[in-house]
A and B are shown apart, each in its own frame.
Chain A
Amino acid sequence: DQQVKQNSPSLSVQEGRISILNCDYTNSMFDYFLWYKKYPAEGPTFLISISSIKDKNEDGRFTVFLNKSAKHLSLHIVPSQPGDSAVYFCAASEGEKLTFGTGTRLTIIP
């Protein structure tokens, strides 16, 4: 039972344009959501997070939106840069336990 889903396994975006990565979840007990970036043969690195009491959090080029009623969150990256090419995982937290999505491979085209 996949409680956190990323339905797009891959996404290609032109450099300078906006990248939008999506994530859906089913467990209404999740109270905190995070996005991680992962390069091959490396562990995930934290990008940005949002509490369930908010609907938007922004940090530089990264913005995370949360729609609790739809159980949906998204990560916007603008402008996209070549260094953003990686696999992006969304994760949801219940207590200290993280549940990860399956990841979306983002490729930024120069």
Chain B
Amino acid sequence: GAVVSQHPSWVICKSGTSVKIECRSLDFQATTMFWYRQFPKKSLMLMATSNEGSKATYEQGVEKDKFLINHASLTLSTLTVTSAHPEDSSFYICSARDLPSGSKDTQYFGPGTRLTVL
């Protein structure tokens, strides 16, 4: 089956620093990648949709200047949390979608990245 990896799996940083999270599709090309955020005991909230070679589409309420998304290739998308603050601490999950011909089922999730901002 399709595999999506995320790196790092967890990160602790100081307030005010920036953190980059990578999402890679390992054995397929992903024209579309999604970034989600999950608060404790809450659902996964879609933050943004990124398409290879174009700007990401952000959901309402998500600051695009704070959460920078770059989908530079068909196998890699990065999320950079800029000037992180404690309220940015969360579990960030990416997913990657197979080529456009894929069905709606073909959205594969990474293992997630736990971010803790001190």
State the A residues within 8 Å of B (CB). 2, 4, 9, 32, 34, 36, 41-46, 49, 89, 93, 96-103
| Complex-state Cα separation, A44 to B96, whole angstroms | 12
Interface size on B, residues (CB 8 A): 25
Q: List 14 A-B contacts (CB under 8 A).
A: A34-B104, A41-B111, A42-B111, A43-B6, A43-B93, A43-B95, A44-B109, A49-B104, A89-B44, A93-B104, A96-B49, A96-B97, A102-B41, A102-B43
State the B residues within 8 Å of A (CB). 4, 6, 9, 32, 34, 36, 41-46, 49, 93, 95, 97, 104-105, 107-112, 114
A46 proximity list for chain B (CB < 8 A): 105, 107-108
A103 proximity list for chain B (CB < 8 A): 41, 43
Greatest chain A CB density within 10 A among B44, B109, B114 is at B44
- On whether the beta carbons of B112 and A43 are closer than 8 Å, the reply is yes
Residue of B nearest to A99 (CB): B46
